[in-house]
């Protein structure tokens, strides 16, 4: 028995925490049972098998825009980058966005990503085109995609709020936010209020990008947590970046982490983008020291669900990216000194099951879970992080969709 007829038998798989290799029977896209089984199947020869990677935060609508940039378009300030993006957006069509994003989607799949949440810019230049393109891509995609409507230009003024309602009607799965784009602290809080009002009215989740400036002055995470509890949206809100948590005094951070846990906020961290983004601060006379990342270890140890995303992939804001979640976890381990014995497992969880939890997907290596799986050449998590990033098999809904980084006929 191997692939076909809704059945796939994987032989001799190494599962973390189990002393012997196991056979895994997959039936109709779900893990049916794990143990010793009769019959032939795909021999994994003792290689590590894990739940598929979940890229919890990315911007597929902008992915690979560097292919269209000239040398003078690189290395600009955040403000200049936003202006350049407007220029590109004025030429957006639904078709050309899909055409540019599709190869990146397949590159992510080859790197073991079986589900992702993409932001889609909603603004005065591209209107709903990016969102429409992402919704179409989701329909065509072999992997799970959630589309988050992202108000790139803020939410002040009638029109912007209306666009977010139109985004929900068009098929956005949830609403994003960017409070720091607003001009005053009061407007930043109002930005959150507008989102909560829309989320409650339409019964959708929120995924807010906040506290990304590397300044302790921009600290909205406690307010987000309070509003989540007030609006009884526990478990339905994600906070992406949350860098300021690492910049405030330790006791304030500890109180905030407790509040985040109580509000069941899912925290998303995007290591590469967090380290590279430059926010000029008032009074800056020279380039500031390098950026921080949120308090990942402290959040995990407190039981907060923390997931990892690649964020931007080869675009105006971030020219790097090879679609590898392994590389992202490596970077996170360096930046947050994740050197404890359990940390390689923590890193893998953040890159897979934790993101799946945020997306409401049933992931895990247990019977009944979705058969979205990766098989590595390595035999444990640490070796997988330290090895070349190529993944032996990527399995989606019980079908092998990529082998050695190449799409199969099922992919």
Contact between 173 and Zn ion (CB under 5 A)?
no
Contact between 372 and Zn ion (CB under 5 A)?
no
CA dist., res. 127 & res. 100, Å (int): 18
| 222 vs 272, beta carbon nearer Zn ion | 272
CA dist., res. 277 & res. 90, Å (int): 24
Beta strand 113-121 with 53-58: parallel, antiparallel or unpaired? Answer: parallel
| 215 vs 387, beta carbon nearer Zn ion | 215
Q: Residue 46, exposed/middle/buried by CB under 10 A (0-12, 13-18, 19+)?
A: exposed
- Under a CB-based contact definition with an 8 Å cutoff, are residues 92 and 129 in contact? yes
Binding mask 30-69 for Zn ion (x = CB under 5 A): ----------------------------------------
Number of residues that bind Zn ion (CB under 5 A): 1
Backbone angle region of 228, left / alpha / beta, with phi > 0 → left and psi within -120 to 50 → alpha = alpha
| 149 vs 259, beta carbon nearer Zn ion | 149
Segment near Zn ion (CB under 5 A); pick from 22-30, 306-314, 373-381, 382-390 = 306-314
Write b or e for each residue in 329-342: b if 16 or more Cβ atoms lie within 10 A of its Cβ, otherwise e: bbbbbebbebeeee
Residue 277 CB, shortest distance to Zn ion, in Å, is: 9
Binding mask 257-296 for Zn ion (x = CB under 5 A): ----------------------------------------
Contact between 311 and Zn ion (CB under 5 A)?
yes
| 311 vs 315, beta carbon nearer Zn ion | 311
Give the residue at shortest CB distance from Zn ion: 311
Binding mask 201-240 for Zn ion (x = CB under 5 A): ----------------------------------------
Residue 51 CB, shortest distance to Zn ion, in Å, is: 23
Residue 288 CB, shortest distance to Zn ion, in Å, is: 21
CA dist., res. 254 & res. 219, Å (int): 14
> Helix 158-170 and helix 185-202: axis angle, to 10°?
30
Beta strand 393-396 with 144-150: parallel, antiparallel or unpaired? Answer: unpaired
Residue 151 CB, shortest distance to Zn ion, in Å, is: 13
Q: Which DSSP state fits 265? A: P
Contact between 153 and Zn ion (CB under 5 A)?
no
Q: Residue 393, exposed/middle/buried by CB under 10 A (0-12, 13-18, 19+)?
A: buried
| 63 vs 248, beta carbon nearer Zn ion | 63
Which residue has 């790097």 as its token pair? 320
Query: Which residues contact Zn ion (rule: CB under 5 A)?
Result: 311
């Amino acid at each position: 028995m191997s692939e076909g007829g809704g059945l796939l038998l994987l032989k001799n798989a190494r599962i973390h925490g189990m002393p012997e290799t196991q056979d895994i029977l997959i039936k109709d896209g779900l893990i049916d049972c794990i143990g010793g089984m009769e019959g032939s199947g795909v021999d994994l020869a003792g290689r590590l098998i894990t739940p598929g990677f979940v890229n919890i935060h990315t911007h597929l609508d902008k992915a690979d825009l560097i292919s269209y940039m000239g040398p003078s378009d690189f290395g600009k300030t955040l403000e200049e980058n936003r202006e350049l993006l407007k220029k590109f957006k004025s030429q957006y069509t639904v078709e050309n966005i899909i055409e540019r994003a599709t190869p990146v989607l397949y590159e992510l799949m080859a790197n073991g990503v079986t589900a992702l949440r993409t932001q889609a810019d909603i603004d005065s230049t591209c209107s709903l085109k990016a969102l429409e393109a992402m919704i179409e891509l989701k329909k065509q995609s072999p992997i799970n995609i959630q589309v988050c409507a992202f108000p790139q230009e803020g939410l002040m003024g009638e029109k912007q709020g209306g666009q977010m309602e139109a985004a929900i009607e068009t098929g956005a799965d949830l609403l994003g936010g960017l409070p720091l784009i607003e001009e005053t602290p009061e407007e930043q809080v109002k930005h959150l209020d507008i989102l909560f009002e829309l989320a409650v009215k339409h019964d959708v989740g929120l995924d807010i990008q906040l506290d990304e400036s590397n300044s302790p002055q921009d600290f909205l995470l406690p307010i987000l947590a309070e509003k989540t509890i007030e609006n009884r949206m526990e478990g339905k809100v994600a906070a992406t970046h949350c860098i300021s948590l690492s910049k405030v005094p330790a006791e304030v951070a500890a109180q905030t982490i407790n509040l985040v846990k109580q509000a069941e906020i899912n925290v998303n961290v995007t290591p590469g983008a967090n380290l590279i983004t430059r926010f000029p601060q008032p009074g800056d006379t020279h380039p500031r020291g390098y950026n921080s990342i949120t308090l990942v270890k402290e959040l995990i140890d407190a039981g907060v669900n923390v997931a990892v995303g690649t964020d931007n992939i080869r675009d105006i804001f971030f020219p790097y990216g090879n679609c590898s979640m392994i590389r992202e976890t490596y970077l996170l381990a360096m930046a947050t000194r994740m050197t404890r014995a359990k940390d390689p497992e923590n890193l893998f969880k953040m890159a897979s099951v934790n993101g799946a939890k945020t997306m409401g997907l049933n992931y895990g290596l247990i019977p009944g879970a979705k058969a979205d799986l990766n098989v590595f050449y390595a035999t444990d998590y640490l070796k997988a992080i330290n090895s070349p990033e190529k993944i032996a098999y990527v399995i989606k809904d019980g079908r092998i969709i990529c082998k050695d980084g190449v799409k199969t006929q099922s992919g």
